[in-house]
Amino acid sequence: MILQTVKHNRLLLRVPGFLFCMSLFLLSGCSEPAQYRLNLVAVHKVELANDSSFESEHQLEPIADILEAMFGTPDLPQIPPVPGIEDVLDIDKLYMAAGPYGTDEHGKAQGLYRQHCVHCHGISGDGAGPTAAILNPYPRDYRLGKFKFKSTASGSKPTHGDLKKTIENGMTGTAMPSFKLLDSDEVEALVHYVKYLSIRGEVERYLIEDGDQFAELFTAVFKDHSQLSDDEKEEIDEMSTEEIKEEQETVDAEIVYLKSQENLVENVMEFVLSKWIEADDNVLEIKPKPEMNLKELEESMANGRKLFFSKDAACSTCHGDTALGDGQTAADFYDDWTEIPGGFYDPKNPESLPEFLALGALEPRKLRPRNLRQGVYRGGRRPIDIFWRIRNGIDGSKMPAAKEVALTDEEVWNLVDFVRSALPYDQLSRPLVHKPENTKEIN
């Protein structure tokens, strides 16, 4: 009897061996060391616009070198020596957030970003971490330097406190978690790291995209004939070998200048950093919400309703007549991280999309105005939060600032009351049918 079992167990013994081999096979995808990735999506965008490809030795490599010299590596961050930067970034905090995670010899946490954020926001802060593709909305790409939920005027940077609030409270209804279980100084460190990645990303984009930096260097003189675009071919063919040599020297000299402290501090950093330094000055002064009795509140809501459907505020054009978020009519409605110029996608030229996706861009997704009948606010649900949203707009997501359409603060409070209190909740048991997007345009 035992013998029989043995015979059959031979098969059973073989199975584990097979499984073992299979696990080794699955593991074969080896892990790369942590490195910043160049913003190739931005590079390709410029290449398409200029009809000329970037040359690696004279454009891509110098850009990467500059970035590393200024900002260090993911394991050892650095702050470029620029006046005023110490008000924005704190190197000790960055050390705490950077690097592989664990604890230092004093038991202090380290590598917080890689412990808590990197799988969504990515090692370079590009919002394209491993989990990004399965999330909706996508995690924030910090490199654009735009943030949605903040107390500052439209187009300005968030304050330190705004970012801290976002990280502590998370964003309801999105994958962005609340980190309120972390120590306060750990959150501080993460705020600094987010700003650092953001500034680094903006500098990178500036170096790649700005006409006075690397974008328009005439590197055709260094390129292999096969790399040249038709225009470049023509130009190069007309040049003599000496002229080409001369031109090469000019480009080399330009690169030396572009790499110089003078350029980096006075042009690049000045452009990027000043907005971060000014952020605190751009917080809008707001008189506190007036106290109201019931009757006044009703009046305020009624006024808010009028404004909501009015031509000026035009909230309903996006959020819909029912406020279900189904009113926007544009066929191409994408956020600034997706659509050019901030993003990469040009709805008028969708053929180039696969090239960007191959470079790691995330599939474009249509931007949806919020369904205001669920009482869900990503940027916080206090009246003041909603006041900021309406008054300042939501950067990067096309929701305009009420200031631009000349609403007074009082009218904004009316809208806040209307949005918060006058809209019926979407009944979950019998939800209203959303209008199909773009019905207005199709009809």
Partner 1 sequence: MMLVCATFPLIWVGGLVTTQKAGMAVPDWPSTYGYNLFLYPWQTWLFGPYDLFLEHGHRILGALVGMVAIGLLVSILYCDARKHLIILAVIALVAVIIQGVLGGARVIQDEILLAKIHGCFGPFFFMLAVALEVITSKRWSQMRLPCKDSQTSTSLADSQQIAGLKRLAVSTAVFAYLQLLLGAQIRHISPMTSHGNFRIAVVFHVFVAFVVLGHVLLLTTKVWRHQDKLKLLRSVTLVASLLVIGQVCLGVATYTAKYAWPAILPGGDYFAGLLIEAESFTQTMIVTGHVATGSLILAVTTTAALYCFKYYPSEFRLPRISGTTLRGVIA
Neighbouring C-beta atoms of residue 313, cutoff 10 Å: 22
26 vs 442, beta carbon nearer partner 1: 26
DSSP string across 255-308: HHHHHSHIIIIIIIIHHHHHHHHHGGGGBPP-PPPPP--HHHHHHHHHHHHHHH
List the single partner that 227 binds among partner 1, ligand HEC, none, CB under 5 to 8 Å by kind.
none
Determine if 164 is a binding residue for partner 1 (CB under 8 A): no
161 vs 228, beta carbon nearer ligand HEC: 161
Binding piece for partner 1, criterion CB under 8 A, among 175-183, 270-278, 332-340, 390-398: 175-183
Tokens of 62: 């110098």
**Is residue 159 within 8 Å of 279, Cβ to Cβ?**
yes
Determine if 128 is a binding residue for partner 1 (CB under 8 A): yes
Determine if 155 is a binding residue for partner 1 (CB under 8 A): no
29 vs 288, beta carbon nearer partner 1: 29
188 vs 346, beta carbon nearer ligand HEC: 188
Determine if 7 is a binding residue for partner 1 (CB under 8 A): yes
Instruction: List the one residue out of 333, 340, 192 whose CA is nearest residue 276.
Output: 192
Determine if 18 is a binding residue for partner 1 (CB under 8 A): yes
Residue 394 makes CB contacts below 8 A (sequence gap 6+) with 148, 149, 379
Binder to partner 1 among 84, 100, 290, 350 (CB under 8 A)? 100
Neighbouring C-beta atoms of residue 199, cutoff 10 Å: 27
Determine if 428 is a binding residue for partner 1 (CB under 8 A): yes
d(CA 93, CA 231): 49
- Residue 292 Cβ, how far from partner 1 at the closest point, in Å? 26
Instruction: List the one residue out of 197, 140, 128 whose CA is nearest residue 174.
Output: 140
Determine if 114 is a binding residue for partner 1 (CB under 8 A): yes
**Is residue 307 within 8 Å of 415, Cβ to Cβ?**
yes
Instruction: Report residue 397 CA to chain centroid gap.
Output: 11
- Residue 168 Cβ, how far from ligand HEC at the closest point, in Å? 10
Q: At what angle do helices 160-169 and 184-209 cross, to 10 degrees?
A: 120
Determine if 30 is a binding residue for partner 1 (CB under 8 A): yes
Binder to partner 1 among 317, 374, 421, 438 (CB under 8 A)? 374
List the single partner that 371 binds among ligand HEC, partner 1, none, CB under 5 to 8 Å by kind.
partner 1
Tokens of 150: 């903040």
- Residue 426 Cβ, how far from partner 1 at the closest point, in Å? 7
Instruction: List the one residue out of 143, 158, 71, 101 whose CA is nearest residue 344.
Output: 143
List the single partner that 69 binds among partner 1, ligand HEC, none, CB under 5 to 8 Å by kind.
none
d(CA 65, CA 208): 13
Determine if 431 is a binding residue for partner 1 (CB under 8 A): yes
247 vs 395, beta carbon nearer ligand HEC: 395
Instruction: List the one residue out of 385, 405, 406, 423 whose CA is nearest residue 304.
Output: 423
- Contacts to partner 1 from residues 50-69, by CB under 8 A: none
Residue with tokens 């954020």: 117
d(CA 300, CA 419): 11
Q: Which x/- pattern, by CB under 8 A, does the window 230-269 give for partner 1?
A: ----------------------------------------
Instruction: List the one residue out of 201, 197, 204 whose CA is nearest residue 113.
Output: 197
Determine if 130 is a binding residue for partner 1 (CB under 8 A): yes
Residues lying near ligand HEC in the complex (CB under 6 A) are found at 116-117, 120-121, 131, 135, 137, 139-140, 147-150, 163, 166-167, 171, 174-177, 179, 190, 194, 313-315, 317-319, 328, 367, 369-370, 372, 377-379, 386, 389-390, 394, 397-400, 402, 415, 419
- Residue 320 Cβ, how far from ligand HEC at the closest point, in Å? 10
222 vs 413, beta carbon nearer ligand HEC: 413
161: three-class secondary structure by DSSP: helix
Tokens of 134: 């399965």
Binder to partner 1 among 60, 85, 135, 228 (CB under 8 A)? 135
Instruction: List the one residue out of 44, 36, 336, 38 whose CA is nearest residue 215.
Output: 44
Binder to partner 1 among 35, 250, 274, 349 (CB under 8 A)? 35
Determine if 129 is a binding residue for partner 1 (CB under 8 A): yes
Binder to partner 1 among 116, 146, 160, 223 (CB under 8 A)? 116
| Cα distances (angstroms) measured from residue 319 to each of 93, 132, 308 | 41, 26, 9
